[in-house]
Every structure is written in structure tokens, then in C-alpha cells.
Structure 1
């Protein structure tokens, strides 16, 4: 009898410890991933851009001199006030780019890409802060999943700001790339014409699973499952449903996939199933030697030419 009690209490202790580990670990993972304490702001990003790209300070100074960068806001379906910036082309044009930043970044992170579209290609540009980033409201980071609906609202605003016959390319980097792909699987308005994904992940599940192995050496079970369920309970979405892979499979519009061959943050291997799942028309460019989100920084002329060539087929 005494031996049975010891076994029972041992088993019970193991179960209790497992539950504590799972619940505590889930809250830690959710807070770590979706409520980051450090996020970029305009001042920090502007300084970083100026130090990396020689063209940035003269260009942004010229824009600021004539007050060409405008603030704007929208209210989304959840009542969140979302911030954005826009730059109108100096010449009348229907061409518009919506540029989507990455994880813990802000809209100004995409200013070097705005330079391509605005300065080089003569587009109007709209740069939104995603939920819980920059000056936008938000309960937590949504990793692009809830943001996909917001981007459709931003596109509607762009069509009003820049003329009712605007033609839009949506271009995102990293989490912004995943957001771009998630948008692509929705029912789209006629003014969205094509997409550019730069180093986006296949799904939030795949990306988080990869990261907890890389950062903490942990397997998917049980934390990925319990954390995904907790995310669903707290924020209304799960890691598995937030799938760029499933969304691109529904996309009939053109998409350019860009990914660095040396990406070890969103591993390069993720781009291949995304490209395979996407119906035609589509293009892929693997940038040799480029780490995560560095394809433009390290290959500026080639990147500009690739984007110009691709978008030029679908936006006139």
C-alpha cells in the first residue's frame, strides 16, 4: 500500500509539474513573442536608414522640406486606431505601393523601399504601422494575420487618397512579407494588381516552431500547442490558422517572391513551398548570399530593376 501511494504521488507530482511548465511556458512564449518590450520608432529607424543608405537623408530631407510626408489614420473593424504615412507622387499617376514593415519595426523601416517606388518609379506610397507597432493601437502583435484585414482598409483609403482608378502593388518584408501573402488570399478589390513578398514565412506556426528550437532548444510539444490555444483564447487567432501558405494557394494575382539564400531567421527553405503553392502568374528571385531582410541593402540596383520589371508588367 505504501509503495502504491509513493507511485501515485510521484505521478501526480509529475503531472502538476508538467501543467505548471506548460501553462507558465505558454504565457512566457506569448508575452515574449506577441508583447515585445522593445519596438522600433521613427527616430531610431530614420537614424539606422540614414547610416545604411547614402540616398536616404538627402531624399527624406527633400520630402520634409516641402512637407511631402503626410500622417493619416484609419479605424479598423475592432475599433483600433491605426497610423500610417503617405507620399504623393509629384506627377499625377495611378500607380500606388502599399509597403508593409516587419516584426517590431514601424512604417519608417520601409522608407528605403518607398524610395524605390516614389523616387525611382514615380509611385504614390502608403506606409502603415501594423497593429501594436509604431503609433498604431493594438492588443498584441498579430504576426500579419489580423493585419491582413487592415491592409484591405488601407488599400481602400489609398484608392481615395490617390484617385478612384489607382492601381496598387502590396510589398512587404519579413512579417510584412507574410502579411502581404495573407492579404493575397482574401477577396480583393479590383485596384490591387500584384504583390511582392520579401522573405515572409510560411505560417506563424512554422516560424515560431523554428524559433523555439533555435533559441531555446525546445520541441513543438507541448508548448507550441498550448501557446497556440492560449493565443486563440486571448487574441482570437491561432498559430496554425495564420498561414501564408494557405492564403497564397488562393491568390490568382501576380506575385514576386524574394528571399536571401543566407536567411537563417526565416529560413530560405520556406520560400519554396510558398512558391509552389501559388498559382501562376508568379516569379521567384533567390538573392545569393543575402541574410534575412538584407536583399535590397546588399543588391540595390538589382533589387530596383527586379521590382521595376515585375510591377511594370501589371501596373501602368
Structure 2
């Protein structure tokens, strides 16, 4: 029992270094002239998370967007607008503790919230008879990789994401001794091996928050079909600005190559 209490305490400390939620929404898709609908998604019969459904007219796909570790969905309006301009419908959701979503953030909750949001996005994709694409950015990449065995996903985009928490701790906190007890946390490196859909990786080669090398290692562990796009000169938060229109051209090329799969 004592060890269990200690483990829970350590996990709570670790989560406090990973999640930086903001409860205040700073805008809505209407601010960028996108119609949207608030959705409330039930997770595990008791937790409720908040999402925005932004439907495009005559969409080419539905994108489930898994955002990074700070802020909330309202801080991703530019991402929403870029995908919407490509003719894509987007479901973006907040993890527990972020924005209007209830509860507290944790690794276990992150994966459960992503699964519930994916199920809802799958329903919307089937209604529109279009492919479902999962897009995970930074920590959202871990949430996305946690979905690789979920049914009905046509493809996955992973941007500026990492291998596991141990590797990130070595980079961010210079703690070489963390490998034995953090490697299992947010372990995308093992999960990616079970991917069953086409994968597109995007990473800035000057990313010092999630180093380029971690993105490459994750890519190398993934099965085919896969593609890695290195954005020359980009850091962690300026991939779109650095790549310009070529960024969206690549997204469109990848998404247009996907076919709807049965769930």
C-alpha cells in the first residue's frame, strides 16, 4: 500500500511537469468566420470533455485534432482555420482540466479522452462518408499514437512529437538517470509499432523543445507506409510560418491520398 501511495504521488508530480492547462477560452471559430458547434463528449460514463465541431462544406475528410500540452482549444484557432481552408471538417477537443472539460489531466486520462473523441469523430466521418484523419501535435502526438489500433482511422499526421517521457526528460531537465522509470510514460516509441494506417511525420530541424532526433527515432520505429517531412529552419512552434504554403500543400497531398476505411 505504501508503495502504491508513493507511486501515485510521483505520477502526480510528473503530470504537473507535463500538463499546463488553461481554463479560459480566448476566442471561438466564429472569430475567424468559421461556423462551429459545441460538443460534449462523455468519457468512461462519468467524465465529460468539451469539443468544437467545425464542419466544412463538402469536406474531403474529418480531422481529429489532438493539441499540445499548454493552453486549450481556443489557442489553436489558426490551426483550425488552415485545415478548414483545405476543405476539411475538424473536431478539436480539450483534455480533462483544459478549457471547459471537467476533471484533471493525467496520462491515463489523455488516452481515454482521445479515444472518446476519436469515436465521436468516427461517427461524424461516417455520416459524411469521408476518411477520418488523426492529427497530433507535440504532446498531442502521444494522444494520437495512443489511437493507432482504433478502428476506422484512414491516416495519421504526427507533428513535432516525441518518443517517450524519458527521452524528453533528458533533453528538458538533463536527467540521464530517468530512463528506467520514465521510459514507460507517454511511450509512443512502443505504441507506434502497432500502427495500421499511413503516417505522415512533420518536424522542424531546429526544434529545441522536442528535438528533431526524437521525431526521427519515432518515424524509424513506425511501420510502412510512412513519410517524414523535415522543415528546414523551423523550431517547435513555427512550422507553418517557416514552410509557408508548402506546409498545407503537403497536408492536402497526404489527406487526398487516403481512402475511407470501415470501422
Query: TM-score over 0.5 for the alignment?
Result: yes
Q: CA deviation at 1:28?
A: 8.7
Deviation at 1:29, TM superposition (A): 4.3
Taking only aligned residues, the RMSD between alpha carbons, in angstroms, comes to 2.8
Match of 2:237 in 1: 293
5+ residue gaps in structure 1?
Answer: 1-21, 48-55, 229-237
After superposition, residues 236-247 of structure 1 pair within 5 angstroms as 240-247=184-191
Deviations 1:61-80 (A, max 9, x none): 422xxxx1211111112621
| Alpha-carbon shift at residue 199 of structure 1 (Å) | 0.6
- Of structures 1 and 2, the larger Rg is shown by 1
Q: How does 1:209-224 map to 2 (within 5 A)?
A: 209-213=170-174, 218-220=175-177
- TM normalised by structure 2 equals 0.84
1:26-175 matches, cutoff 5 A: 26=10, 29-30=13-14, 32-34=16-18, 36=20, 39=22, 41-43=24-26, 46=27, 60-63=31-34, 68-77=35-44, 79-91=46-58, 93=59, 95-119=61-85, 121-142=86-107, 146-164=109-127, 165-175=129-139
Aligned-partner Cα distance in 2 for 1:309–1:27: 40
Instruction: Report the Cα distance in structure 2 between the residues aligned to 1:71 and 1:274, rounded to whole angstroms.
Output: 34
CA contact (8 A) 2:19 2:69 kept: no
Gaps of 5+ in 2: 1-5
Q: How many residues align?
A: 253
Question: Contact 1:114–1:125 at 8 Å: present in 2 too?
Answer: yes
Which structure has greater helix proportion?
Answer: 1
What SS does the aligned partner of 1:147 have?
Answer: helix
